[in-house]
Structure 1
Amino acid sequence: MSSPPTLTPQPQPQPLIPASRLPKPEVERMLALLRGSRLPAADLVPGGSDSWDYGMPLSRLRELRAHWLEQWSFDGWLAEISRFEHFTVQIEGIELHYVHARAGREGAVPLLLSHGWPGSFFEFHKVIGPLSSPDSAEDPAFDLVVPSLPGFGFSGPPPRKGWTLVDTARVFNTLMVDVLGYKQYVAQGGDWGYVVTRALTAYHSEHCVLAHFNNLIELPPTYQYPVLAAMAVLPQWASHRVGSLVLTEGDMEGLQRTMDFRARGMGYHAIQSTKPATIGYALADHPLGLLAYLGEKYHAWTDPSSSLSDDEIVSTVALYFLTGTFHTSVLPYYENKHTQFMSLPRQARGRAGMSVFRFDVLGAPKSWASRVLNVVFYKRHDRGGHFAGLEMPDTLVADVREFVRGNWKSS
């Protein structure tokens, strides 16, 4: 007589108290290291104290360091992130951390939020409340799930060499469907979160039925618009004139920012995609170095009039340092360069929405997005940059609500 099949038990979430992963002695050590670090006495070049052409200006680094030491409150930041319910769960050998904010309302829509680099779950701290507990009964309420990517924040590192964002998407789908029981859900993401969400639309579309993005990481459709290939080698004035033949003025502005970023802003990408261990170990125990390296991105990739505060920049850097995850956070740049993550299959089914923020370094012309996504919602905003959840939380919330309100029932 044969034995009955063995049922694999579903992984069980465990509550996580953030303070348990952020011990006070480590905080004190971090501040002591910061206090003991020396800055150069003079600017890199004469008269360059306020110029970002060479990277983080010495004057700005001094300001951020002083803010961290004299004004930033660890207890205040800890209280902010502790407002949310945190959990960990073992999936495919990863201790996966996530925030779970339930709406407490019938008919709440499950929504997965995925961050990128150099972000974290903290990137969404301003939108979790409004999305899960809207003031108006007319607005949709969401059951929010906000994971930390493997190797980021309170999540453990990838369990093996060669782990890609497609693997991360599979784990996130397991979290939503098998662990939390959401058979269908909405996903939202930008930066690496864009790639994770794109992978969900390509390989898990029976569950991820709607997807919203706040930037686009795709190869230009030069075969469809050959003039785009010429734009990369023409002077800017000529490039703009040629591009205007196939793109709107808004698309052209975004594309120009993307081209400028690729020409002058991707030094970090070069080292992280080739020697991640070198930069990872060099900065792992150096809070001032992390502040310069990560803080520069929170200037270069954002709206010049951004409401992003020094507290939020410092808190983000502190999270990387205190969790000891900077070196694993840069690993996706290496592991994913060996895959065609910029050539994922087209969205299999369902619908997509796109919010474009003017000062993002990753432009998103609608025509490009429509090649790979079933775009039914597209909005361009005159403000905001790469970190939409931090810079433009109200706008991101409004766009997600509008997109879901019009498409969830019919998806």
Structure 2
Amino acid sequence: MSARVEVVEVFEARASDADLQDLRARLAAARLPEAETVLGAAPGPGRWAQGVPLADLIDVVDYWRTGYDWRRFEERLEQVGQYRTTIDGLGIHFLHRRSPRADATALILTHGWPGSIAEFVDVIDELADPKSADTPAFHVVAPSLPGFGYSDKPATTGWGTEKTAAAWVQLMQRLGYPTFLAHGGDWGGNITTVLAGRYPEHVLGIHTTFAEAPPGMTTDGLTPAERAWTEETYDFWHHRAAYAKQQATRPQTIGYALVDSPVGLLAWILDKFAEWSDTDDSPFETLSIDRVLDDVTLYWLTRTGASAARIYYESHNSLDPDLKVDVPAAITTYPRDIEKYPRPWARQRYRNIVRWTSPESGGHFPSLEVPGFFVRDLREGLGAVLAARR
């Protein structure tokens, strides 16, 4: 590999004024359907039974067009520090915040879909430079998945979770971190599991909110609460996962709408922020509308609606059923997450669980929903991982 390919370059995210004007024009000219036929339903999940309610979408679109400030998010990315490098012929974008602490440990954070690096911008500073000297500190790296954000779009098949995990090892080594900790949820949790199982010589330990058990587990011996988890996960995959089937089988088809229509992209993503968050009705009960729009606008400006969807085509149901994780693992299962696996099941894959947490609140996007708890839990989980290695 040439020295040029291994270069790490500072990256600046700067959308053109023309692109932002085009976005506002498209929003102003959007053609919307009639209201859902559950119109008038009381606030609650039932109001979202057919997807994003028209009134809610109109409000968000209006704010996106007239009040939202993308430049503020660009400034935040610059404050954190962002870079690009090339691995296996693909440009990879990442945030990198080195801790000022001499005792800091390297940590890679991996997002999923429909998330992005926007999930981590509010927690990176606290992880890298905690106020207390007794609190663990981390050199934080948060890459954009292949096909997401400012990473390149793969032009061929093959960039699934296994190849991405291998690329993350190369990325961390290139940054001077031969050993490191890893955290992830959603696809990031899958990749974190692959990292730990395939590269234990590099991965000190992991924290994940997605601890997928091997297939074929029995409910015998589970507590009533654990059985409820399995029933909820079963219900999700059999009744609420049409988006995953679409993206796993026909990402190109849905991709045209996601790249051409900002309102279509917003609805496709907002539906998941609403359904997967720990809220009674609107996702904005716990999520910042600006952070949600940071995420959606990042997809829009980089035209990654189709390329990001392809992670499902490349990786759906691809986690090796025989993959075992023997490095120390801390696992947190939030009550409103979409997949929850009982500890007896998880132990069949993660054979050295050093901390298991089931908080009382939070959903699929904990770094955005409950950022204070998320940071404390991640610190304590990784602290337990490091202690287990001493």
List 4+ stretches of structure 1 deviating above 6 A. none
1:310 paired with 2:296, answer no
SS in 2 for 1:169: helix
Specify the alignment match of 2:269 in structure 1.
294
CA apart distance, 1:162 = 2.7
Instruction: Using the TM superposition, name which of 80-89 and 351-360 deviates more.
Output: 80-89
Gaps of at least 5 residues in structure 2 are none
Specify the alignment match of 2:83 in structure 1.
87
CA apart distance, 1:49 = 9.1
1:154 paired with 2:132, answer no
> Please, what TM-score do these two structures have when normalized by structure 1?
0.88
Contact 2:215 2:321 (8 Å CA) reproduced: no
1:197 paired with 2:174, answer no
**Structure 2 residue identity aligned to 1:95:** G
1:13 paired with 2:8, answer yes
**Structure 1 residue identity aligned to 2:31:** R
SS in 1 for 2:358: strand
CA apart distance, 1:371 = 0.9
1:357 paired with 2:334, answer yes
Specify the alignment match of 1:238 in structure 2.
none
Specify the alignment match of 1:216 in structure 2.
211
CA apart distance, 1:264 = 2.1
In 2, Cα distance between the equivalents of 1:151 and 1:276? 12
Specify the alignment match of 1:59 in structure 2.
55
1:76 paired with 2:72, answer yes
In 2, Cα distance between the equivalents of 1:174 and 1:54? 43
Instruction: Using the TM superposition, name which of 196-205 and 39-48 deviates more.
Output: 39-48
Taking the TM superposition and a 5 Å limit, the aligned residue runs for 1:215-234 are 215-222=210-217, 225=218, 228=219
Contact 1:123 1:389 (8 Å CA) reproduced: yes
**Structure 2 residue identity aligned to 1:407:** V
In 1, Cα distance between the equivalents of 2:50 and 2:271? 10
In 2, Cα distance between the equivalents of 1:313 and 1:41? 24
Contact 1:254 1:360 (8 Å CA) reproduced: no
Taking the TM superposition and a 5 Å limit, the aligned residue runs for 1:261-300 are 261-300=236-275
SS in 1 for 2:333: strand
- Residue in structure 2 matching 1:333, options 312, 329, 341: 312
What number of residue pairs does the alignment pair up?
Answer: 380
Contact 2:331 2:357 (8 Å CA) reproduced: yes
Instruction: Using the TM superposition, name which of 251-260 and 291-300 deviates more.
Output: 251-260
Provide the identity percentage: 33
Gaps of at least 5 residues in structure 1 are 1-6, 229-244
**Structure 2 residue identity aligned to 1:38:** R
Specify the alignment match of 2:168 in structure 1.
172
Distance 1:254 1:105, change over 3 A: same
**Structure 2 residue identity aligned to 1:35:** A
Taking the TM superposition and a 5 Å limit, the aligned residue runs for 1:103-122 are 103-122=99-118
1:38 paired with 2:31, answer yes
Contact 1:166 1:196 (8 Å CA) reproduced: yes
CA apart distance, 1:311 = 1.6
**Structure 1 residue identity aligned to 2:296:** V
CA apart distance, 1:58 = 1.2
In 2, Cα distance between the equivalents of 1:344 and 1:323? 36
Contact 2:190 2:210 (8 Å CA) reproduced: no
In 2, Cα distance between the equivalents of 1:407 and 1:170? 22
SS in 2 for 1:54: coil
CA apart distance, 1:77 = 2.3
Q: Which has the larger radius of gyration?
A: 1
Specify the alignment match of 1:24 in structure 2.
17
In 1, Cα distance between the equivalents of 2:318 and 2:31? 42
Instruction: Using the TM superposition, name which of 46-55 and 304-313 deviates more.
Output: 46-55
In 1, Cα distance between the equivalents of 2:68 and 2:322? 41
**Structure 1 residue identity aligned to 2:79:** R
